[in-house]
């Protein structure tokens, strides 16, 4: 399963922070290395930190009897941490693969998010 963050001109990020990143396709396009694994059935577009804002992803996970989620991604302190919390709250066992996550802003935030996940949410490997 894959999530893709897309910013919009009317988003909270523009409204509150005047941040206009990831609006342009050059910034929010999926990297070539994973495109062959993606289809319309396993890509979930999102417009905020959370991936469970609508029930689409949750329904797929439940339908396929997924009980454990392994997470990788960019912005450990935002999207990965948020996904981990939301999935934990919905009953999933969480494992974050730390070597496949990073912060796009600060290495200290990445490490802090991993510590929060390890202490409060799930495993970090």
Task: Tell me what pLDDT residue 71 has.
Answer: 97
Question: Tokens standing for 87?
Answer: 């999935």
Q: Whole-model pTM above 0.75? A: yes
Residue 70: pLDDT above 90?
yes
User: Residue 29 is inside which H or E element, if any?
Assistant: none
Task: Tell me what pLDDT residue 26 has.
Answer: 87
User: Residue 11 is inside which H or E element, if any?
Assistant: none
Cα–Cα distance, 83 to 42 (Å, whole number)? 16
């Amino acid at each position: 399963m894959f999530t893709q963050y897309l910013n919009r001109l009317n988003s909270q990020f523009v409204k509150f922070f005047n941040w206009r990143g990831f609006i342009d396709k050059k910034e929010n396009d999926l990297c070539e290395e994973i495109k062959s694994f993606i289809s319309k059935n396993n890509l979930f577009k999102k417009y905020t930190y959370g991936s469970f804002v609508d029930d689409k992803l949750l329904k797929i996970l439940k339908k396929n009897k997924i009980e454990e989620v392994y997470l990788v991604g960019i912005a450990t302190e935002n999207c990965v941490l948020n996904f981990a919390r939301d999935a934990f709250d919905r009953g999933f066992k969480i494992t974050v693969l730390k070597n496949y996550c990073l912060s796009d802003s600060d290495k200290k935030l990445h490490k802090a998010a991993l510590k929060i996940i390890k202490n409060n949410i799930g495993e970090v490997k």
